[in-house]
Structure 1
Amino acid sequence: MKLGYSRFLLSGYIFFSLSGVWVLAMADVPAGQRHGCPAKCGDVDIPFPFGVGEQCALPGFKLNCTTVEGVTKPLAGNIEVTNISLADGTATMNTPAISSQCYDPDNGTKYRNGWLNLTNTPYWISEVDNTVIVIGCNTLAYMMSSTYVIGCVSKCESGVPLKNDECSGAGCCQANVPKDIQYYNGYFNENYNTTEIWREGSPCSYIAVMEKAAFNFKTSYVNSTVFYDTYKDRKVPIVLNWQIVGSYCEDAKKNTSSYACVSSQSACVNSTTHKPGYRCNCSEGYQGNPYLANGCQDIDECQRPANPCGDGICKNTPGNYSCSCHPGNYMTNNGVCVPIQKKPSRFQATPVIGASVGLVVLVIVVACACLIQERRKLRNMKLAYFRRHGGTILFEEMKSQQCNAFKIFSEEELQQATNRFSEEQVIGRGGHGTVYRGLLKSNVEVAVKRCMTIDEQHKKEFGKEMLILAQINHRNVVKLLGCCLEVEVPMLVYEFVPNGTLFDLIHGNHGWRISLATRLGIAHDSAEALSYLHSGASTPILHGDVKSSNILLDDNHKAKVSDFGASILAPTDESQFVTLVQGTCGYLDPEYMQTCQLTDKSDVYSFGVVLLELLTCKKPFNLDAIGQDKSLSMMFMSAMKENRLEVILDDGIKDEDNMEILEEIAELAKHCLEMSGENRPSMKEVAEKLDRLRKVMHHPWVQRNPEEMESLLGEPSAMVHSTIVSDQYFSIEKKAVTNLQSGR
């Protein structure tokens, strides 16, 4: 796969540059109430904190009102704004972020690169309202952000007609947009997007991130340029979330001069992104603009077309309303006004009482029947999920194998353990789901993982796969205690590891405190775990997402590899894997990105990047860096080639006494990062090498005895170290960096 586009025709790329300093401006007159600030631009309403010009908006929300060819429209930077919603906290914009690849037998392949950069702005791409769209025949395309890669494959089968309004893999496919994305770039995989597609009547392939509701697939998009023509000026609508950035509500309220929720009837809502921020809403019973003084006005519920009091008398109150009845009527417990009945005589009372008792009995019977029916539906639905995920097979196998350590949990048990999956219990979020801290009735702390999605194939095989995972027993692998199968997407229950992740330890502003011996021990523990998963388990398991944030640490800094079930829940055979490409930037195996096939050597490559993190205390991918320094692996390979390893090593471990060990670890990491998987060592070889180095660290006297040093480290020929950096390695990663730089 060629990520570089130095030979491509770069046309229509986006430069979205908004101010990056978000300190709320204050003047004698608040910005939202200054005279002369227009409330509309063309047909678009401009509510504060947005405004036309810097004097009418909060920093970061300035718009320009421009007239082009007789049409007046608001622009954020150079992007057209078509709608702003205060209630939803969204802004819809038209972006020319369509990437295309078109082949002409006379002129060759031409590319148009579309990208969007919202870094240092109050905007991010809504994962709810948008989708990744890929159009074309035999096309594999994907979007790359600073932290995520995701895409899909679109194919056209011979003799099978395409269908309008169906985007599910035939001529068109789509993928979910990850959360908290501010930057993306579109790419094509040329192993799929070959020049033969023009013979199939499909000369062009496209990828775009756009609003779900605005896209309807047409078969004409595949064999012509109609897709471009459909969206005027080659622009697609995209929905962006926005917020007041800089601090959460608690801290923002302390600074009254800059606090944005100025209406007396407004409420502050914390941001759900990884960056501090907040939005303002009008309190319940009020509507309007919470960013303006007195902007939230009472809603007069009594003026609505349908009287909320029915036949009664409605009286409006601040933020609410009250109901009363007309004279001669009284209000029942359910708020209905009924006439006051005259007291019947003794002879009249008997049939009335009998009828009332009968009615009450009838209501109770009907209510009980409905309740029983609803419970039966819920029970049947849970049973259907249980069977669909292979729960029956799993239960029988557990009985036959006497697998007492693994438990099938009920949904109610896990809800109680996690306080109904409260946000306060969240301890981690990832590409496959959210992890909650929980406490079982037995006072055992657990980590409960709610997976986001699971494909149909793995719904059928899930029970069998859980049985395989339940048999994993290794001191450096987080133990899988059980699962819950009576929900639409199964939940996994792991042992709880208390001391956070390796990523937090390295990059949490205290990495300098970690000794080389501790780092080497963590690396050895992790390698032992992966070696066990690859070759020691009853059924070989590929991790698929090896990274420092998936390595947990206990109180003694002993490492435990987690999330090893993620690969089980993701496609694992070739026919499925080519339809989905995803992973974490900086850790992705270049060979996997070329072949779309995950192997044990893909885990070896990712582990090599973890070794680099331990050696350098640098993050695997840095979008703010320049050139090859964006990629830690590229920077390392270049340093090794130029014999300047000491330049990138962490100062906390650089020591003359340690240099021989550090060079050995660096050579091992270099070997793990070979472009070809065949040239990489197995995880078993990596673990053995780290074990020998660890023993040397515990026996420093050996360093003065070269013969014993060699006996501990092993023969130099035991592991072949490549001294030449693959040109193909630089051709792939360097071009990826070049394209990311184009967004500066």
Structure 2
Amino acid sequence: MFSAALLPLLPALAAAPPSPSTTAGTAMSNCTTTCGNISIPYPFGVEPGCYHPGFDVTCAADEGPPRLLLHNISEVFDINLPNGTVDIYVDRFVQSSINSSSFPPDVRAYTGVANWDVVGVGIDGGPFVVSATRNKLVLIACDVQVFLMTVDMDVISTCAAFCPPVSKSHEYMVGSPDCSGIGCCQAPIPAGLDVYELQLRRFNGSWGSDFAQVYIVDSELLSSYRMDEMQEEALPAVLEWVISDSPCQSNSTSPECRSSNSFCQNSNTSFNGGHRCYCSKGYDGNPYVLDGCTDINECKSPEIYPCFGDCINTMGGYICQCPPGFEGDASVPKGCKDIDECVLPEAHGCYGNCTNLPGTFLCQCPQGTFGDQTIKGGCVAIRDSLSGTKIALIVSGSLILLLIALAAPFITRKILKQKAKRTREKFFKQNHGLLLQQLISQNTDIGERMIITLREIEKATDNFDKTREVGGGGHGVVYKGILNLHVVAIKKSKIVVQKEIDDFINEVAILSQVNHRNVVKLLGCCLETEVPLLVYEFISNGTLYQHLHVDGPMSLSLDARLRIVLEVARALSYLHSATSMPIYHRDIKSSNILLDDSLTAKVSDFGASRYIPIDQTGVTTAVQGTIGYLDPMYYYTGRLTDKSDVFSFGVLVMEMLTRKKPFMYRSHVGDGLVSYFSSLFEEGKLVNILDPQVMEDDNGGVQEVAALAVMCTKLKGEDRPTMREVELKLENLCVKALAPSSITSPCNRDQISFQGITMETSRQYTMEEEVMLSATYPR
């Protein structure tokens, strides 16, 4: 007999000790909520502080689509909070060769088992146990019996699989479709234990093969698998869990049930007890987070909450009643019947002729009479002529109606103006307008015209006319307009969500502090709309992407490309090291580099940028950027540093030298632009990928620029240079390439004379800093 301890038949799911950040009992706002198409609700979480102790999961994206792993081992394909279950894939955990010849004679006569391996360790002590109501223990073998026992060796479940003589070999073994004993058998898994003992026994005199496998399988899906498929792939199994191993308090509350509309209920999942949290009746959502249980609007789901009358939603429930004029049971079809008000007209206040209508009735004075038919004796006979009093009443009433009709448009216009004014004031406060006014009063660097009214913006854009649209970025639509006799670009958000508003406010705060010739100039903003509007200087010559990726063999000249690269480097060096607080752009790419009429580069689109305190080397943020340009270390760790912009800049340089689009380029071996460019550079075969125009214009400096691009895209951030070092390197390359008589050098703008050599400076350093930095230039 063979004995293999199952602890408890699944891969390792031992509860991890809680760190200080996981003891808060609630998820943070920047937690990962999905992995592929799998939702990750609290108490489960990926990052520290985002999960309850023992409920940590991992989103692995190493090969193929992202996979959600429970404790880095078992793949999760569904998490069900109301049922307290986790669906995972489990590989077969026992497979072996059974050779009776390896046992003593007295044992060999009774059974034969040898060389068994058990894959997997236990979940002992964690919040998870094997679900007894959903799982089955499945054995695939011939003439073998499996025993499921407690650690005290008490048998609690068993089944046996037999095979006819013709099917004794594993290759030809045929099992019964319902796994009822021929080549395959199944047994229930009793609840309450997280440690089991497994034993297998071969029957005496068996012809059976030496192959056997044991699985844990979701019984609801067992019938959908053929036995030969079960032998080769991981199968779904179900775990049950409790949020705490302590029972509920007497009033059905628990500290873990954090939502105000939730309750606690003890669980019979294991002998250790414990409880789970549920949303109260009429509520749905996540009971483990604050305000996680929200009211169900039953009136929007009549197929679930039937109502064939007037449905009124209430907190935690709903009211279903017949419409006015009907009576009966509104919860069943045709349950509401029309009330015949004319049966008792006096009860409904009708003393004239009553006519019943569906849901109502018509009451009018009899023919030849007039008056008030709702009061007794109110209908009187019509006389041949009207009295002077009645004529006066008719005329005065007509005049009043005429005056109301004439005044209505003016009154309506006044009301609409007041409503629009209140709406603008509301949005102004919502969009932090008071804070911006305070900044303007305290900071002389922010112009007094920074705040622009909505009326001025509408006038500048002809009320946002479609013909004024000149493009769009990742954060909105851009309009061309004329404001104060200046041509400006006005950016308006496409999507009204709070994150877009926060990005706009972030861009205002950043650009209002930035003053550099290679950074797009922010002229002002309008905060009187639901989403703020930003007003920039208008850059007339499009984006670098449009100039670089044109049809045909000719694009920007090499000198123009190198100058643009240098200007972008100066802008990033300024943002990283010359502002009062470093600014990381996070989305450097060719479509975010604007060019003016003289092809001067302007870095734009700061919606994803972040201020970083000087005393911090990196900050963990939600990853933002563009695939192809995105720093891989930032993508995998979420830790933002200045080297993230350096990586994106290096990709931009490669794009300039090759005219390949980083977000879609693939080499003949499947490599992306960065890896293929770096490998060709190391092999000395860079000519295979360079733009032919670059090779034709090259005067010897392309190799050094390519080497700088490779350094900027090193995998580890510490191996990359800073943007200041990149700027100085490009300055030196410009100086080397500059002939004494040349006036068309890529670095001949904003030039200063230095020892008879003309070179460019970004003008963002003090005179003392420039003197110190000049020591690094070649003499």
Higher helix share: 1
For CA contacts below 8 A with separation 6 or more, give which structure has more relative contact order. 1
Of the two, which has the highest radius of gyration? 2
TM-score after normalising by structure 2: 0.47
